[in-house]
Amino acid sequence: MPDRGGGPTGPRIRVGRPSRRVRTLLMTLGVLAVLGMVFTMFAGFWTDWLWYRSVDYSSVFTTTLSTKIGLFVVFGLLMAVSVGFNIWLAHRLRPPLSAMSMEQQNLDRYRMGIAPYKKWLLLGITALVGLIAGASASSQWRTWLMWVNGVSFGQKDPQFNLDVSFYAFDLPWYRFLLGFGFAAAILGLIAAALTHYLYGGLRITSPGARATAAATGHLSVLLGIFVALKAIAYWLDRYGLAVKSSDFKATDSWTGLRYVDANAYLPAKTILFCIAVICALLFFATLWRRTWQLPVIGFGLMVLSAILIGGLYPAIVQKFQVQPNEQAKEAPYVEKNLAATREAYGIDDSQVTEYPGVAETKDQAKLRDDVANAASIRIMDPNIVSPTFQQLQQIRNYYAFPTNLDVDRYAKDGKEQDTVIGLRELNYAGIPKRNWINDHFRYTHGYGVVAAEGTSADAGGRPAFTESDLPSKGDLGTYEQRVYYGERTTTYSIVGGPQKEIDYSDDSGEKTYSYKGDSGVNLDNPMNRAAYAVAFGEPQILYSGAIGEGSRILYNRTPKERVEAIAPWLTIDGDAYPAVIDGRIQWIVDAYTTTNGYPYASRTTLGDTTADSLTATNDQRAVVAQQNQVNYIRNSVKATVDAYSGEVKLYQWDTQDPVLKTWMKAFPDTVEPRSEISRDLMDHLRYPQDLFKVQRELLTRYHVKDANTFLSGSEVWQVPDDPTNKTGETVPPYYLSMKMPDQDEQVFSLTTTFTPNGRDNLSAFMAVNADPGTGDYGKIRILKLPTSTTVSGPKQVQSQFNSQQDIAETIRLLRGGDSEVEYGNLLTVPLDGGLLYVEPVYVRGGGLKYPLLRKVLVTYGGQTAFEDTLEQALDKVFGGEGTPVEPPADEGEDEGPDEGTTPPPSTQQPSTVQEALNDAQKAFEAGQEALKNNDWEAYGRAQEDLEDALRRAEEAQSGGAGGARSSPRATPSASPGSNS
């Protein structure tokens, strides 16, 4: 450039190419980065393959992977070819550009710019859309496998007379194909239109025709394909009405056709299908007519018809035909919904029996004798006593028990009894010194089972252990006690190599162990070590000297994780439970097959239905498939996970379930036949809680079989809130060995209660036979109480307990100082036409930080007792000495005070009551002193003195000291801190 007088320009800086060394370095780094990304992806694939092979379910991995790859390739290629062909065809049909308009001159520079790269651009666009479409299609592997392997349900829907399998297996796949077809048509249309515009086939501002004949024909065909797909969509929508959800005042989740669907939407869809077919033919006809006039008119007619026929007409039918006489119009469709829903959730055989709710006999002695036959009343609440197990049986800080223990059945002295059971699992937070070696090599497993009788406690209120200590010993005999796989085992361990593991500790010191099983993946291979180092983000796996010959890595160690990985087509119950079976600790996992395509069956969201007061406070007892909406469920598979070897076995439980049969065709040899279940395993199987919770939620509405009653809503129930828990969630179901009125003997059952919608009195009691060893396993029995009389529900019973003066005073005394009173499960037992309520009461505090059973609340027929033991409470209630319970003023309200509150003290206190309470205070203080000194013998004597003093106070209140009935409200002078 010429000098413009701006002064010296200075030296010019010459920018050269990087040196050869720099270029080599950059190229090397680039290659290494690519290799790193490739190896990272390979590591994930390789470790998955190794894991599936280690558990002998490699067929699941290969079937799933091959299906995903196949769908990715096929649909990715179809989309790429569809878009690429339309771009190529539009380019081939481009007009000559001899007469260049201003619009085309402006586009010419873009044509010139891409001309050298047309092939690469075409390949890039097609590859991009192909990858996106292939990735989307691969996620439909379940839909594909269910369609290609689907078996018949043997049941037809009432509207179209098609087998249920069409809606469960076929319709979802057809809808996917339709969606893919729409995507391909729209993308092809957009790509073709842009190409035609770029090369002059379409013109926006140029004079003359807006489109060439070739462009008109090409785009018309694509529009015709789109409209033809819309016609297919209208036809499939007809069948979709049978599984469509809609708002309906009779239920929150109505599924299936209603009157307006059958008489307005269904004919409308048929008419729109015909119009769409005609419109598509008009678009195809432009190949010969070369004009869009008729297709555009047809398309406009189709849109107008969709608005009038598909939208306005059904609204008119609903407004002027249905609403004036809704009950009569909807009743036939409600009956179909009732039948389908009851069948889909397995509640069609539920037995509803009228139950008086009040005792039919006045013979108190006979009633007392009948209690033992009615139920084995469990006073050890598995959801309360875990801290007690922890304190008394933890032994070492690096062990822990689950927050909620489990209930199972074990034989003792030849008689089966309900047992509270938990495993002493590894607690990583309690490891004395946290480092990589300790976390993954030294502390690798838990040790032993701890079990206690469910129906009794020892003299100190502690569980009556039937299996305890470390190593565990007791009634369970000899078994492999090491727990390498459990609910708390959420990280990996490397075992079996040169580094010894801590087995357990006793009085002689620390014992070591080296894993002898063949579980996990062998790390002898450097390739495996490198892959796991990358997959787990832990480079020490690659070079650590603690890994050597025989080292194996264990991961995916919770029972739920293992079963989900092996059977990804199953929905897993939120509560796995342990059992000692054939000398091994086995985790038993209930698994479900589900579908969202059962015609006319109402849907439920599993996450909402299976939530209760336990899932709200325990992250280990998870809800099922949080947002999974289903309208068919079966407990089709029972799975076991060996706590030592991690071996997983799947057993076919529901031999009639067509969904399971479909998955067994897709994944052959993964599910063992039901006949392979051993006798010992069968003794510990049970009816699953989450299925029961789903069924009880449906039965709040679907216990009725009459359409008019269902529509009126007069018989709607609700699951009551847990009165012993502050979460506001529903009461959990309880396992209990009990006898329903039509049964001859006790069976292991799962029970719950119902209250009327918006009220607190009892409306029904429900139990399911949970013992597979009996003939009517899974039989749901509902005792329906009369609406003409009021029977107290759980919340009212709890309120009545708290409102009794003597009970409230004792509770207040127990709650003194830093002690806490914890209410256990409020159990309900049918007894001679009435209902017996039993609730254990625990005290936590003083020098102890774990709950001990101190009292048992019992109420029956208006009589209430609050005693040290269940036997004493029952004797008092049925001996006529119980405290009468005044029913609440209104059956829907709680008149009693909140728990822990007491009525105002009486203004006149007999001296005998005061003396008894003074003695109670002294006994209480003596007990506290004994606790501090760990003098259990003195503590027991103090508890006996305390009980004697409270009993004298109650007797004085009931009529002593001149016969006046006074309230023992005088409180001890000191504020007690009780653990009694």
- In this prediction, residue 968 has a pLDDT band, given cuts at 50, 70 and 90, of very low
Name the least confident of 306-310, 520-524, 905-909, 955-959.
Answer: 905-909
CA 605/CA 627 separation, integer angstroms: 6
pLDDT of 899 reads: 38
According to DSSP, residue 886 is labeled P
Pairwise CA distance, residues 701 & 712, whole Å: 11
Report the chain's mean pLDDT, rounded to a whole number.
Answer: 84
Peptide bond into 471 cis (omega under 30): yes
Please report the pLDDT score of residue 624 as a whole number: 56
pLDDT, one tens digit per residue, over 451-484 is 999 999 988 889 999 999 989 999 999 999 999 9
Strand bridging mode 780-784 / 351-354 = parallel
Give the pair of three-digit tokens for residue 254: 């109505």
The pLDDT, as a whole number, for residue 963 is 37
Of 103 and 291, more confident: 291
SS3 747: strand
CA atoms within 13 A on the CB side of 846: 29
Mean pLDDT lowest for which of 55-69, 744-758, 886-900? 886-900
Give the helix ranges, DSSP H, for 205-312: 213-240, 259-260, 266-289, 293-307
Single pTM value for the model = 0.84
Half-sphere exposure of 123 (CA within 13 A, CB side): 4
> From CA 671, how far away is CA 680, in angstroms rounded?
19
Closest alpha carbon to 244 in 595, 697, 596, 707: 596
Q: Read off the tokens for 436.
A: 């990589």
Q: Judge whether residue 892 has pLDDT over 90.
A: no
245-248 vs 764-769, strand pairing mode: unpaired
Question: Minimum mean pLDDT among 334-338, 363-367, 536-540: which range?
Answer: 363-367
Q: Which helix (H) or strand (E) holds 329?
A: helix 326-344
β 834-844/827-831 pair status: antiparallel
CB atoms closer than 10 angstroms to residue 177: 18
**Calpha distance 953→971 (Å, rounded):** 12
Nearest to 944 by CA among 910, 919, 975: 919
Q: Quote the CA–CA distance of 210 and 103 in Å, as a whole number.
A: 12
648-668 confidence digits (pLDDT tens):
999 999 999 999 999 999 999
The answer to whether 119 touches 66, Cβ cutoff 8 Å, is: no
Q: Is 474 left (phi over 0), alpha (psi -120 to 50) or beta?
A: left
Task: Check whether 349 has a pLDDT greater than 60.
Answer: yes
Closest CA to 269 of 303, 316, 309, 318: 309
Q: Which residues, including other chains, have CB under 8 Å from residue 675's CB and lie 6 or more apart? A: none
Which carries the bigger pLDDT value, residue 636 or residue 623? 636
Structure tokens at 665: 């065709």
d(CA 434, CA 919): 51
Higher pLDDT, 713 or 444: 444
* Cα-Cα-Cα-Cα dihedral sign, residues 735, 703, 741, 831: positive
DSSP state of 905: P
Reply yes or no on whether the pLDDT at 406 is more than 80.
Answer: yes
Residues 651/671, Cβ–Cβ less than 8 Å: yes
| pLDDT exceeds cutoff 90 at 54 | yes
pLDDT of residue 210 exceeding 90, the answer is: no
Q: In this predicted structure, what is the pLDDT of residue 904? A: 37
pLDDT bin (cut points 50, 70, 90) of residue 6 is very low
Distance CA 404, CA 622 (A): 12
> Rg of the Cα trace of the chain?
37
Q: Which residues contact 233 (CB under 8 A, 6 or more apart)?
A: 178, 182
Higher-pLDDT residue of 364 and 640 is 640
Average pLDDT of 211-219? 85
**Mean pLDDT of the 431-458 span:** 92
Q: What is the DSSP letter of 414?
A: T
Q: Which residues lie across from 415 on neighbouring strands?
A: 412
pLDDT (tens digit, 9 = 90+) per residue, 900-912? 333 333 333 344 6
- pLDDT over 50 (residue 441): yes
The whole-number pLDDT of residue 209 equals 63
> Strands 473-474, 463-468: parallel, antiparallel or unpaired by DSSP?
antiparallel
Mean pLDDT of 230-256: 84
Dist CA 168 CA 161 (whole Å): 14
